[in-house]
């Protein structure tokens, strides 16, 4: 799930940074859709020759799946240990995902579940916001909460409080998406592969899945839980393999020439110092990836800059190899 969230963030960032290209693509899709619609209208005079409705196929009735467990009541004691004495839980909000039968054969049932908003503070008074639902395993949600907690922690400490106002665009601490934000994940594998790395990809994700199952089983043992409200980056990196990604949009829209170059070089040095400070906090046990972009291309003509660090050591290899090198750096420690 976290890998999918990270991919979604990258897609949103890509769309935001390339509005004109995306508009052209959307225009092409619209024209293609119109052509398909015209062809369909032409053929539907004898639609039975071309279409078999899914609802005529046995076993395709839309069923209703409902999750009704009262998580705040069932896990009340654990929630207090996880989120601390300032824990507040909202009233439940029932969510409905309508089922669907498509003539193409796609089928989904109607799903009904409950969600609760969780608010709490850490020992320094920072307010955090989380979401709990009753259709996902309670144990696995603890890792989602830890990731989101660390993201909000990093957004405030290493973005909002670290840089002067107006140097970065779109800084939002509590929400998941902004123009400048962090993404924190417990490492359990890699996301992409090529024909050359396919076998390595499979072996790595097999190890990562086994590790994830192990830490889930450990949490299911009576008395084990993650004290999320007490966790800093250092605490998390001592216990888990952690990767922190930063996506930074610098405010360079109104600059040009020597002034633009000087500003971007200064921002680059500040970001490198931020990476050094994170290494100091985590005792070089963290892996860091930073993407630096802006409203216009960088002074050297590149669209954006990438900076990498693997457990305190600068990484200068290829972008697509970074995740593999990160995973290998923890061999003998977690897998």
Residues 80 and 198 in one domain: no
Radius of gyration of the chain (CA): 24
70 & 212 share domain:
no
Tens of pLDDT along the chain (335 residues) come to 545 555 555 565 555 445 455 556 766 676 777 677 666 555 444 444 444 444 444 456 889 999 999 999 999 999 999 999 999 999 999 999 998 887 777 788 899 999 999 999 999 999 999 999 999 999 999 999 999 999 999 999 999 899 988 888 877 666 555 688 899 999 999 988 888 899 999 999 999 999 999 999 999 987 889 999 999 999 999 999 999 999 989 988 888 999 999 999 999 999 999 999 999 999 999 999 999 998 889 999 999 999 999 999 999 999 999 999 999 999 999 99
- Burial of residue 247 (CB within 10 Å: 0-12, 13-18, 19+) is buried
In a shared domain, residues 94 and 166: no
Phi-psi region of 58 (alpha: psi -120 to 50; beta: other; left: phi over 0): beta
**pLDDT attached to residue 107:** 81
Interatomic CA distance for residues 27 and 196, integer angstroms: 35
> Containing domain of residue 86, as a range?
52-136
| Same domain membership, residue 329 and residue 228 | yes
> Residue 305 contacts by C-beta under 8 Å, 6 or more apart in sequence?
268, 291, 292, 293, 298
DSSP for 244-269, please give it: EEEEEEE--TT--HHHHHHHHHHHHH
Residue whose entry in the numeric block shows the structure tokens 């004495």: 85
Residues 206 and 262 occupy one common structural domain: yes
Is residue 176 domain-shared with residue 314, that is, in the same domain?
Answer: yes
Q: How far apart are CA 191 and CA 204, in angstroms?
A: 10
């Amino acid at each position: 799930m976290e890998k999918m969230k990270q991919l979604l963030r990258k897609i949103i960032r890509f769309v935001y940074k390339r509005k004109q290209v995306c508009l052209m693509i959307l225009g092409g899709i619209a024209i293609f859709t119109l052509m398909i619609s015209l062809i369909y209208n032409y053929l539907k005079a004898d639609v039975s020759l071309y279409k078999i409705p899914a609802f005529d196929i046995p076993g395709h009735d839309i069923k209703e799946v409902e999750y009704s467990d009262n998580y705040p009541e069932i896990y009340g004691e654990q929630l207090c240990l996880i989120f601390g004495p300032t824990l507040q839980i909202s009233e439940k909000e029932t969510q409905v995902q309508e089922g669907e039968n498509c003539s193409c054969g796609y089928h989904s049932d109607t799903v009904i579940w409950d969600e609760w908003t969780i608010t709490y503070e850490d020992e320094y008074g920072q307010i955090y916001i989380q979401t709990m639902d009753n259709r996902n395993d309670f144990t696995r949600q603890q890792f989602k909460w830890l990731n989101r907690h660390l993201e909000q922690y990093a957004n405030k400490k290493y973005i909002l409080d670290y840089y002067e106002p107006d140097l970065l665009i779109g800084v939002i601490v509590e929400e998941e998406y902004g123009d400048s934000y962090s993404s924190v994940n417990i490492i359990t594998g890699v996301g992409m592969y090529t024909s050359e790395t396919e076998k390595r990809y499979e072996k790595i994700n097999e190890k990562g899945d086994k590790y994830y199952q192990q830490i889930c089983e450990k949490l299911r043992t009576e008395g084990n839980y993650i004290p999320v409200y007490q966790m800093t980056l250092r605490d998390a990196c001592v216990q888990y393999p952690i990767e922190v990604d930063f996506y930074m949009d610098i405010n360079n829209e109104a600059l040009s020439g020597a002034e633009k170059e000087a500003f971007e070089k200064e921002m680059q040095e500040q970001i490198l110092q931020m990476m050094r400070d994170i290494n100091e906090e985590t005792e070089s046990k963290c892996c860091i990836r930073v993407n630096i972009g802006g409203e216009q291309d960088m002074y050297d003509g590149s669209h954006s800059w990438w900076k990498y660090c693997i457990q305190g050591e600068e990484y200068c290899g290829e972008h697509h190899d970074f995740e593999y090198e990160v995973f290998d750096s923890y061999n003998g420690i977690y897998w």
